[in-house]
Amino acid sequence: MANQFDVVVIGAGPAGYVCAIRAAQLGLKTACVEKWSDDKGKTLLGGTCLNVGCIPSKALLDSSHKFVEAQKDFGLHGIEHEGVKMDVPKMIARKDKIVQTLTSGVGGLFKANGVTLLEGAGKVLAAKQVELTKGDGSVEIIETANVVIATGSRPIDIPPAPVDNDLIVDSTGALEFRDVPKRLGVIGAGVIGLELGSVWGRLGSEVVVLEALDQFLAAADQQIAKESMKIMKKQGLDIRLGARVTGSEIRDKEIDVTYVDGEGKENSLIFDKLIVAVGRRPYTEGLLAPDSGVNLDERGFIFVDDHCATDVPGVYAIGDVVRGPMLAHKGSEEGIMVAEIIAGQKAQMNYDLIPSVIYTHPEIAWVGKTEEEVKAEGNEYKVGTFPFAASGRALAANEKDGMVKVIADKATDRILGVHVVGPSAAELVQQGVIAMEFAASSEDLALTIFSHPTLSEALHEAVLAVDGHAIHIANRKRR
């Protein structure tokens, strides 16, 4: 039978929908399969990121930040106010409206680019056929020259704290609280735990974050992690490291959580709500027929090479369902790479320069290597740092917490890593991503003119500090 499509993408999250749009742009006859629907049966596009992840959490982070500013910071500016209150259902409704606008926007982009939306669950069969099971239970077999799997990830459940979607919730449930819990427990001081803990903490919850590891933000540069921990504790987040949750019991609308601390002592805490944010796992349930030929790795991710090709020629996998950081922008770039490869281009992606961001306030962001990684590699390196407390623009904005840190190779001066905790860290690190993508040295950035007064000047000062030339701080004496 002739192929109905050149490409069938399974999953319409930021990896899948971007791949489908790029494939269609390149003249490939493209379909995208999506099974997620709302309670009225309407298909929801955009995946975790748009529906229950990046976008709704940022909406709540922005609302809760404005609330804190109004409550605590307006007075500093001489803005008189009293009785600032938060209408939680209104905040949630604003978030829902943003999500709805963006998800329907993806549908509009599919139409504009000629991507066919196939509503239902996709399954990869042998010989690259895709089985589509629709909402009414009917099944259709789709013939295609290429398949791209982009089915994403799911929150991990842990036996000591099973999610009941009432008192114990995952990251999705934590976006839907109708009022502010008085005592909020969070299991996991990862990205989700810190972001959602911040939202509800700012609105008035007493937040305790229980983290099994002894180290805070183990993947981040540890100087930045320590600075971040200090700032978050100052904001009132009670972060307990080395705290391994061993059990939970629901009694009378309360959760009694037990955890073992660093000394091996058992402790217990009572919460009104508990968020479980202990990581995500690849979502492959019901996806692969036994004879599909697509293999998983030992951790359950779809096994792919550097170009996202699976073991079956013409079948690719991208995004959270394959190795690498579970980040929307990583999945989207993989989607573009794969669409271009299918179209016959020689596309590749630079996995060394994927930026990471934690959208707390201030934000924590980085790209490239941490000082710990550079040290472990044994190469000589230079470090420049600059605190926001010495930035005029940061002081004017009442944003003096945090710092910029730049690491450069001692011999070549090439920038190896840019790490920021502070105001607009995500945007500042993006400048580092661009510089590193062009293999810049710290001197290249030092010779660049930065507008005054901007937060970006903190990055300029940090690269100047790499060679002891910072102007607005005392440089460390060179030995």
Ligand X SMILES: NC(=O)c1ccc[n+]([C@@H]2O[C@H](COP(=O)([O-])OP(=O)(O)OC[C@H]3O[C@@H](n4cnc5c(N)ncnc54)[C@H](O)[C@@H]3O)[C@@H](O)[C@H]2O)c1
Prior bond of 181 cis (ω within 30°) = no
Q: Report the alpha-carbon distance of residue 196 to residue 11 in Å, rounded.
A: 26
Q: Which is nearer to ligand X, 96 or 261 (CB)?
A: 261
Task: Please return the burial class of 276, using the count of CB atoms within 10 Å of its CB with bins 0-12, 13-18 and 19+.
Answer: buried
In angstroms, the Cα distances linking 56 to 175, 181, 187 are: 7, 19, 20
Instruction: Tell the smallest beta-carbon distance from residue 321 to ligand X (Å).
Output: 12
In the block, which residue shows the tokens 């190795």?
323
Q: Which is nearer to ligand X, 359 or 388 (CB)?
A: 359
Q: Which is nearer to ligand X, 191 or 465 (CB)?
A: 191
Instruction: Tell the smallest beta-carbon distance from residue 188 to ligand X (Å).
Output: 3
Q: Which is nearer to ligand X, 301 or 386 (CB)?
A: 301
Q: Report the alpha-carbon distance of residue 339 to residue 80 in Å, rounded.
A: 55
Q: Are strands 206-210 and 183-187 parallel, antiparallel or unpaired?
A: parallel
Q: Classify residue 18 by its DSSP letter.
A: H
Q: Which is nearer to ligand X, 194 or 288 (CB)?
A: 194
Q: What is the DSSP string of 279-304?
A: -EEE--TTTB-TTS---B-TTSSBP-
Instruction: Tell the smallest beta-carbon distance from residue 265 to ligand X (Å).
Output: 15
Looking at the chain, how many residues does it have? 479
Instruction: Tell the smallest beta-carbon distance from residue 466 to ligand X (Å).
Output: 27
**In this chain, which residue has its C-beta nearest to ligand X?**
190
Task: Respond yes or no: is residue 472 known to be catalytic.
Answer: no
Instruction: Classify residue 46 as left (phi > 0), alpha (psi -120 to 50) or beta.
Output: left
Instruction: Tell the smallest beta-carbon distance from residue 276 to ligand X (Å).
Output: 8
* From 329, 452, 460, 472, the catalytic residue: 452
Q: Which is nearer to ligand X, 106 or 245 (CB)?
A: 245
Please state the φ and ψ torsions of residue 201, each to the nearest 5 degrees: -60, -40
In angstroms, the Cα distances linking 460 to 196, 418, 453, 456 are: 32, 12, 12, 7
Task: Please return the burial class of 90, using the count of CB atoms within 10 Å of its CB with bins 0-12, 13-18 and 19+.
Answer: exposed
Q: Classify residue 71 by its DSSP letter.
A: I
Instruction: Please report, as ranges, the residues that interact with ligand X according to CB under 6 A.
Output: 158, 187-193, 195, 210-213, 244-245, 277-280, 325-327, 357-359
Instruction: Tell the smallest beta-carbon distance from residue 85 to ligand X (Å).
Output: 28
**Tokens linked to 219:** 């993947």
Active site members: 452
